[in-house]
Each structure stands twice: as structure tokens, then as C-alpha cells.
Chains A and B, each alone.
Chain A
Amino acid sequence: MSSPPSSNSVAIEATNLLYAWPGEPPVIDIAHFSVACGERVFLRGPSGSGKSTLLGLLGGVLNPARGRVCLLRTDITALSAGERDRFRGEHIGFIFQMFNLIPYLGVLENVLLPAQFSPARAARIPGGDLAAEGRRLLATLGLGSPDYLNRPVTELSIGQQQRVAAARALLGRPGIIVADEPTSSLDHDAREDFLRLLMNECQAQDTALLFVSHDTSLGPLFDRTLSLREINRA
């Protein structure tokens, strides 16, 4: 199904995973699926393939009917809902297709949001200077100009908004980043640009990246490509 993880520690590991919405046939039935620490995996998932459900399971928002989800060697399916929330805040950064940002917060405030809800993530920031780290991440993603920092996020272009979302996901060095179609609203150049910046930073932080998209042309940029259709038996 997939080659074994190149690194010896595992960031994401789902075993024997089964999920069904109440009263419906299973949407997720995965025997095994894993992503190694620092690995960048492209998961091809067209709409209707159970992608949202899988992300819900990995994020700990949904609890499987059967099977286990281990993230960074923690079995999150054994945790309580509150503990899963805390775990997610601490170890996972999310980037969605669009509408990633809180419209009433500034650029930097959006980036620093995870630190507000997760003290552990704030504590991982070198020197403890949240704002400086936020600005550094924004700068690596090409939004270094102070001009951006003070602008309402609603005035940014979609591409810029996605980069802010990426900076937020990367803040505080989470072990895992899950990106759900983050580039599908971007044009070709912006897409490549965005991916390159995101991957560089993931590599620098040794963060596992699970990149979900239906756009197969992006596959070659990743360490490994998987198809949700193939691993999901449902």
C-alpha cells in the first residue's frame, strides 16, 4: 500500500480505522495509514472520498467506531474530548481551503491564536517572544513587510491569507501540519510559491505535513503520494 516511514518515529498512524455517520454506511474504513515525523505526504482525495471525515478523525473532533489514531505516539482515541482538544491545539496545525482567518483580528493576532489556547505551544517558541516568532514566520512566508502586519486580514488577497494561515499552523513548532486543499483557490504561480515556502518551513521545523488535495499535479513535490480511494475500503 505504501512504503514504510523513512524516519523511525511516527507522526500519524491510523490502524483498523472505521467511521460511520449515524444511520449511514461507513465512510472511512482504513486498515493502516501512517506518516513519519518530518515526512511530507500528498494525500489525493477528491470530494466524496471521506476526506473531511478523515481529517475530523485525525484532528480528534470525531471519534472512530473502531480502531486507533496515534499521533506522535499518543493514542488520541483513548483520550477524552477535552484532552483531544488540548492535544490538537498543542500538536497540530491546520490550513484549510479558505476562510482560515478570524476576520476581526489583525494578521499577527491571527498567527498568534494557537498560543492563546495552548500554553504548551506558546512555551515551545524560542525566547518566548510570541510576536517576534510570528513576524519571523510571516517573513519566511513572504509577508515580512510591516505594512501587512497592521492590515485587516479581510484586505489581503486569498494567497496572502493562505500564507497567514500557514504561519499560524507553523507557530510553536507543532509535530503535524494538516493542509486541506490550501492551494485550490490560488493560481498556478502562487500555488507553487506557497507550497515551496510551506515545505521549506516544515523541513526546518521537522514537522510532518499531510497535504490533502485533488490536484494530482502537485504530487511529485512530496516525499510520498497516497490516494485516499486506495487506502479507504469504504
Chain B
Amino acid sequence: MRKKVIFRGAALPYLLLMPQMAVTLVFFFWPAGMAVWQSTLRQDAFGLRTEFVAFENFLDLFHDPIYLNAAWNTVIFASSVAALALGAALFLAVQADKQIRGAGVYKTLLIWPYAVAPALAAVLWLFIFHPSIGLVGRGFGALGIEWDYRVNGGQAMAMVIIAAAWKQVSYNFIFFLAGLQSIPSSVLEAAAIDGARPMRRFWTVVFPLLSPTAFFLLVVNLVYAFFDTFGIIHALTRGGPGNATETLIYKVYVDGVQNLNLGSSAAQSVILMIIVIALTAIQFRFIERRVHY
């Protein structure tokens, strides 16, 4: 039941809205506005002179091979993280949805990684993949595989993808499990009686009914891979070796904080902002249309 409160006068409702408005303005709109403004400026190396250059920062970026490389890295990284995190989570959720002994423990354990801070997660993975002290790293060595993510860019990319996906599996798992549990059991029973084997039931009934959930998670995972993986990359590889694991968000940090090229860094932030706005818009447009119930 919804309760409707009617205020006398307009002052009180505005007053009650103020804190939320203030937080949004100060912490979201102001910095975003500043970034947009900054992206049109260029400073000299010592920060003494600032000039207005309009879109030049953006144009420079699109001709910068390092930036284009970071963009390509991001495409590889984000699609791999999303595919891995979604695939693993869906597989685990399907297993957890079966009637199994200790299902509660199993589900709880799967949710834990989400509570691990990105930097800690990175350290955990370091201990696993480190060539001289890591379990898997030494295992590779014993098998005669030359494993050193500090020199091999491909291996470094694989490692950050695995670490980043691992953190997101829990989140996806919860949504997939809820999605699976909302499918009426009688529909699956009807499919079984219609002669569909478990694999066929999954692909023709379960998966189509999960597709709204999967689509929502795909967008969330892309946003995560684009924006929330700075900590993991920073702790694991610092974007290296070379620029092999430098993604767009990491380059924003490198150019802005390390290289102090504020104009370019702000322009990169604005591009990322446009990407996230686009993803969110797609999300809102499609999610409401594709629900079956």
C-alpha cells in the first residue's frame, strides 16, 4: 500500500529534498561539470598558463596510438570480463538451483567474493599467479610453461581479466539464482512432459526466460569492467607490462595524476561518461520491454 502525504505549502517538501539534492549536486553534477569544462582547456607543463582549446583535446586523443591501444585493451578486457563473469555465474546458479545437499552453504560461499575489496582481491590473485611464490604460477613453471605476467602482456591481460571477473561472479550469481527461482516449476515440468531433456529445457525454456536478467547483468558487468576495475589493475599490473593492461579508466588516472595532463585526462573522463550514459540509457529502454511476465 502506498501512502500519500499531502504537505501544506511548498517549503517543507523542498527542505526534505535538499540533502539528497545537495549530495547529487556537490558530488555528481559539479565534478562532472568541472570535467567537461576542463576537457576544453590546455595547461602548460608547469600549470602557469591555461588556454581554451575547445575540442582539440578530443581530436588529439583520436589520433593518439596509445589512447587507441587503451581503447582496444578496454574492448578486449570488458568483453572478456563480462563473458567470463556471466558464464561462470550462470553455470554456478544453475547448479545451485538444483536440489542439493548443503545448498545454503554453497550459496553463501559463492557470495563472499563480492565482499572482498578490489585491492585485496588483487593481492590474493598475486599470491596465486606470481611466477616465483604463486601456487598456479609455480605450477605453470613446473609444467614447463613460461609464465611471467610481468613481462608477457597477454598473460598479464589474462590475469587481470580473471581477477576482475572473479569479483563480479558473486553479483551475477545472486541475480541469476533469483531469476531461475522465479521461473515457475510447472513450466519446466510441462517442458519435461513435452519430451524436452534437461539441456534442451535449459536452452529453449530457462535461458529465454532468463534473458532479461542476463541483459541487465551484461550492462552492469560492462559498466563494472569499464569503471570499477581500476583497483584491481592498479594493484596487479599498474597497466603494464608496457601498456598491455592499460584500459581507458586506468589511462585517465595515468594521464591526470601521474602525467598531470589535466585537459586530456578530463577529455578521456568525458568520453567515459558518455559511454556510461549510453549504457544506462540502453538498459532503461530495453529492460522494461523484454520482461515476459
Q: Do A and B come from one complex?
A: no
Which B residues are closer than 8 A to A by beta carbons?
Answer: none
Contacts from A to B (Cβ < 8 Å): none
